[in-house]
Structure 1
Amino acid sequence: MVSGSPEQGASPVQAGDAPARTFTDEQRAAIDARTGSQLLSANAGSGKTAVMVERFVEAVLRDDVGVNAILALTFTEKAAGELRERLRRRLLELGEGQRALETDGAWVGTIHGFCARVLRAEPIAAGLDPRFTVLDEATAQRVAAQAWETALEGWAAAHGEPALALAGAYGIGLEPLVRDTHAALRSAGQTVPRLPEPSPAAGRPDCGTLSRARTLAAEALAGARSGVRVDRARAVLAACEELLRDRSPGGSVPTPEALEAAGLGGGSGALAGEECTAYREAFESYAQACTDFHARPALTLLDDLLRRFDAAYAAGKRRRGSLDFADLELFTRDLFARSPARRARWSERFAMLMVDEFQDTNRVQLDILEALERDNLFAVGDELQSIYGFRHADVTIFRERRATLAAERIRRLTANFRSREPVLDVLNGVFAPVFGERFSPLRAGRRDGREPGPAVELLLTDARGWEEREAELGLTEVADQPWRRAEARRLAERIAEVLEGGRRAGEVVVLVRSTASLRLFEQALEERGVPTYVLGGRGYWSHEQVRDGLAYLSALANPLDELALLGALASPFCGAGSDALITMAQAGRRSGAGLWSALQGIRSGTGVEHLDPDESARLAAFAGLLASERERAERESPEILLERAVRATGYDLAILARADGDRRMANLRKLMRLAREYDAAEGRDLRGFIAYATGQDLSEAREGEAPLEAEDLDAVRLMTIHRAKGLEFPVVAVADLGRQGGSGRSPLLVSRDGRVGLRLATLGGGGRVE
Structure 2
Amino acid sequence: MPNWTDEQLGAIESYGCPTIVSAAAGSGKTAVLVERTIRLLCDEKKSIPADSLLAVTFTNDAASQMREKLSAAFEQAVINNPDSAWIQKQQALIRLADICTINSFCFDMVRNNLPKTAFQSGVRIMDEKEAQMVAETALDRVMENAYKTRPEELELLISRFSNGDDEQLKSYILTLYYFLRSLPFKDVWTANVISSFENGSAVTDATSFLAERAMEELTEFEKLTSRLRSCTDSLVNYSSAANKLYQICDMSDELAKRLRSEEARGDWDRLREEIYAYKPLSLAGVRQAKLEKQETTAADEIRYKNAMACKDSLSKKLSEIAACLPCSLETAKSDSKIVGGCFRALVALTNELWAEVDAVKAEKNALDFADTELLTVKLLVDCSPDGKLTRTPLAQEIVSSGRYKLILIDEFQDINNLQEVIFKAISDTPDMKNIGSNVFVVGDVKQAIYRFRRANPKIFMNTRLGAKNGSGVREILLTKNFRSRGSVLDFANYIFSSLMCSDLGEVEYSGEEALVCGASYPEKDPPCTIITVNSDNSDAEENEFRAVAGKIRRMIDAGVPVKDGDGVRPCRPGDFCVLTRNNVSADSLFESFESMGLKVMSGSFSGYLRSREISLMLNLMRITVSPMRDIPMASVMLSGLMGFTDDEISLVRLRDKGNRLYKNVLEISVEEPDSPIGIKCASAVGLIRRLRALSASMPLTRFIKKAYDLTDMFSMAAAYEDGEQKCANLYLLLEYAKKYESSSNDGVPGFLQYVEYILKTDGDFAEALTVTESEDAVNVKTIHKSKGLEYPFVFLCRLGKQFNSSDSKEKLLLNDEHGAGVRYNDYETLTVRKTIFYEHISRLNKSETLSEELRLLYVAMTRAKERLFIVMDTGKDACRSAQEYSRLISSHEILPSLSRRAKSMQDWLIMALIKHPGFTCLGESGYKDAVGLPDIAIEAAPTAEETVSTSEKETESGKGFDSELSERIYQSFHFANDDRLCKSEAKLSVSEIAKGEYDGFYADMPELTDAPAELTPAQKGTILHRFMQLADYEKASSDLEGEISRLTDSGMFTRREAASINRRSISAFFESGVYHRMRRSRNVMREKSFIVRFSDIRAGDQLAEIYAGTQGMLQGIADCVFEEDDGYVIVDYKSDRITSLDNLKDRYSMQLLLYKAAFDILLDKPVKSCYIYSYRLADGVEVELDGIKE
**Superposition TM-score, scaled by structure 1 size:** 0.76
Cα distance change, pair 646–133 in 1 and its aligned pair in 2 (3 A): closer
Q: How does 1:322-341 map to 2 (within 5 A)?
A: 322-338=366-382, 340-341=392-393
Q: Which residue of 2 aligns with 1:419?
A: 484
Could you tell me whether the CA contact under 8 Å between 1:511 and 1:735 is conserved in 2?
yes
Shift of the alpha carbon at 1:66?
1.4
Match of 1:632, SS? helix
Shift of the alpha carbon at 1:630?
1.8
Task: Name the CA distance, whole Å, in 2 between partners of 1:616 and 1:265.
Answer: 82
Q: What is the RMSD computed on CA atoms of the aligned residues?
A: 3.9
595-604 or 688-697, larger mean C-alpha shift? 595-604
Task: Name the CA distance, whole Å, in 1 between partners of 2:113 and 2:685.
Answer: 58
Shift of the alpha carbon at 1:136?
4.4
Shift of the alpha carbon at 1:563?
1.4
Shift of the alpha carbon at 1:130?
5.1
Q: Which residue of 2 aligns with 1:73?
A: 56
Match of 2:531, SS? coil
Q: 1:438 aligns with which of 509, 514, 518?
A: 509
Match of 1:448, SS? coil
Q: 1:90 is matched by which residue type in structure 2?
A: A
Q: How does 1:13-28 map to 2 (within 5 A)?
A: 20-28=1-9
Residue ranges of structure 2 left out of the alignment (5+ in a row): 79-86, 204-246, 248-271, 282-320, 383-390, 429-436, 502-507, 560-570, 839-1190
The reply to whether residue 457 of structure 1 matches residue 438 of structure 2 is: no
Shift of the alpha carbon at 1:155?
5.2
Could you tell me whether the CA contact under 8 Å between 1:360 and 1:394 is conserved in 2?
yes
Match of 2:181, SS? helix
Task: Name the CA distance, whole Å, in 1 between partners of 2:15 and 2:48.
Answer: 11
Could you tell me whether the CA contact under 8 Å between 2:133 and 2:757 is conserved in 1?
no
Could you tell me whether the CA contact under 8 Å between 1:536 and 1:702 is conserved in 2?
no
594-603 or 497-506, larger mean C-alpha shift? 497-506
Q: 1:751 aligns with which of 804, 815, 818?
A: 815
Q: 2:509 is matched by which residue type in structure 1?
A: R
Q: Which residue of 2 aligns with 1:112?
A: 103
Q: Which residue of 2 aligns with 1:200?
A: 198
Q: 1:368 is matched by which residue type in structure 2?
A: I
Q: How does 1:191-270 map to 2 (within 5 A)?
A: 194=190, 196-197=193-194, 199-200=197-198, 268-270=277-279
The reply to whether residue 541 of structure 1 matches residue 539 of structure 2 is: no
Shift of the alpha carbon at 1:725?
1.0
Match of 1:514, SS? coil
542-551 or 141-150, larger mean C-alpha shift? 141-150
Shift of the alpha carbon at 1:35?
2.6
Q: How does 1:579-594 map to 2 (within 5 A)?
A: 580-592=645-657, 593-594=659-660
334-343 or 64-73, larger mean C-alpha shift? 334-343
Could you tell me whether the CA contact under 8 Å between 2:50 and 2:93 is conserved in 1?
yes
Shift of the alpha carbon at 1:115?
2.4
Cα deviation digits, residues 706-747 of structure 1 (max 9, x gap)? 355753355544432222211223332222212233221143
Q: How does 1:527-538 map to 2 (within 5 A)?
A: 528=595, 531-535=599-603
Shift of the alpha carbon at 1:74?
0.8
Shift of the alpha carbon at 1:545?
2.4
Shift of the alpha carbon at 1:491?
3.9
Residue ranges of structure 1 left out of the alignment (5+ in a row): 1-19, 206-228, 230-262, 469-481
Shift of the alpha carbon at 1:383?
1.0
Cα deviation digits, residues 65-97 of structure 1 (max 9, x gap)? 211122111122221111111111221222266
The reply to whether residue 144 of structure 1 matches residue 127 of structure 2 is: no
Q: 2:635 aligns with which of 548, 567, 588?
A: 567
Cα distance change, pair 504–297 in 1 and its aligned pair in 2 (3 A): farther
Cα distance change, pair 730–585 in 1 and its aligned pair in 2 (3 A): farther
Q: 2:760 aligns with which of 675, 687, 698?
A: 698
Q: How does 1:13-52 map to 2 (within 5 A)?
A: 20-52=1-33
Q: 1:346 is matched by which residue type in structure 2?
A: I
Task: Name the CA distance, whole Å, in 1 between partners of 2:594 and 2:660.
Answer: 38
Cα distance change, pair 155–126 in 1 and its aligned pair in 2 (3 A): closer
Q: Which residue of 1 aligns with 2:786?
A: 724
Task: Name the CA distance, whole Å, in 1 between partners of 2:61 and 2:611.
Answer: 27
Q: 2:618 aligns with which of 528, 538, 550?
A: 550
Cα distance change, pair 587–572 in 1 and its aligned pair in 2 (3 A): closer
The reply to whether residue 346 of structure 1 matches residue 408 of structure 2 is: no
Cα distance change, pair 345–633 in 1 and its aligned pair in 2 (3 A): same
Shift of the alpha carbon at 1:57?
0.6
Q: 2:113 is matched by which residue type in structure 1?
A: E
Cα distance change, pair 584–351 in 1 and its aligned pair in 2 (3 A): same
Cα deviation digits, residues 565-614 of structure 1 (max 9, x gap)? 222234443455xxx134313431342234324433564472798xxx6x
Could you tell me whether the CA contact under 8 Å between 1:536 and 1:703 is conserved in 2?
no
Match of 2:347, SS? helix
Cα deviation digits, residues 293-313 of structure 1 (max 9, x gap)? 665675455434423432232
Match of 1:438, SS? coil
Q: 2:514 is matched by which residue type in structure 1?
A: P
Task: Name the CA distance, whole Å, in 2 between partners of 1:173 and 1:718.
Answer: 38
Cα deviation digits, residues 96-134 of structure 1 (max 9, x gap)? 665444333211112222223333333335665455433
Could you tell me whether the CA contact under 8 Å between 1:488 and 1:520 is conserved in 2?
no
Match of 2:785, SS? coil
**Superposition TM-score, scaled by structure 2 size:** 0.51
Q: How does 1:554-633 map to 2 (within 5 A)?
A: 554-576=622-644, 580-592=645-657, 593-600=659-666, 603-604=669-670, 606=672, 621-633=683-695
Match of 2:790, SS? coil
Task: Name the CA distance, whole Å, in 2 between partners of 1:429 and 1:667.
Answer: 44
Q: 2:516 is matched by which residue type in structure 1?
A: R
Cα deviation digits, residues 326-361 of structure 1 (max 9, x gap)? 232222223222555432331222222111111111
Cα deviation digits, residues 235-267 of structure 1 (max 9, x gap)? xxxxxxxxxxxxxxxxxxxxxxxxxxxx99985
Cα distance change, pair 45–185 in 1 and its aligned pair in 2 (3 A): same
Could you tell me whether the CA contact under 8 Å between 1:264 and 1:283 is conserved in 2?
no
Q: 1:316 aligns with which of 338, 346, 360?
A: 360
Cα distance change, pair 282–459 in 1 and its aligned pair in 2 (3 A): closer
Shift of the alpha carbon at 1:371?
1.8
Q: Which residue of 1 aligns with 2:179?
A: 184
Cα distance change, pair 420–266 in 1 and its aligned pair in 2 (3 A): closer
Shift of the alpha carbon at 1:33?
1.3
Match of 1:30, SS? helix
Could you tell me whether the CA contact under 8 Å between 1:553 and 1:638 is conserved in 2?
no
Task: Name the CA distance, whole Å, in 1 between partners of 2:369 and 2:450.
Answer: 16
Match of 2:795, SS? strand
Task: Name the CA distance, whole Å, in 2 between partners of 1:526 and 1:581.
Answer: 35
Could you tell me whether the CA contact under 8 Å between 1:522 and 1:718 is conserved in 2?
no
Could you tell me whether the CA contact under 8 Å between 1:169 and 1:761 is conserved in 2?
no
Task: Name the CA distance, whole Å, in 2 between partners of 1:537 and 1:396.
Answer: 32
Could you tell me whether the CA contact under 8 Å between 2:42 and 2:90 is conserved in 1?
no
Shift of the alpha carbon at 1:644?
1.2
* Percent sequence identity over aligned pairs: 25
Task: Name the CA distance, whole Å, in 2 between partners of 1:68 and 1:505.
Answer: 44
Cα deviation digits, residues 183-212 of structure 1 (max 9, x gap)? 322222135685743723689x9xxxxxxx
Could you tell me whether the CA contact under 8 Å between 1:518 and 1:534 is conserved in 2?
no
Match of 2:633, SS? helix
Could you tell me whether the CA contact under 8 Å between 1:298 and 1:760 is conserved in 2?
no
Cα distance change, pair 92–573 in 1 and its aligned pair in 2 (3 A): farther
Cα deviation digits, residues 38-68 of structure 1 (max 9, x gap)? 1100011211111111111111112432111
Q: Which residue of 1 aligns with 2:126?
A: 135
Could you tell me whether the CA contact under 8 Å between 1:419 and 1:446 is conserved in 2?
yes
Cα distance change, pair 685–499 in 1 and its aligned pair in 2 (3 A): farther
How many residue pairs match? The answer is 665
| Higher CA-based Rg | 2
Cα distance change, pair 123–630 in 1 and its aligned pair in 2 (3 A): closer
Q: How does 1:706-717 map to 2 (within 5 A)?
A: 706=768, 710-712=772-774, 714-717=776-779
340-349 or 291-300, larger mean C-alpha shift? 291-300
Q: 1:60 aligns with which of 28, 41, 50?
A: 41
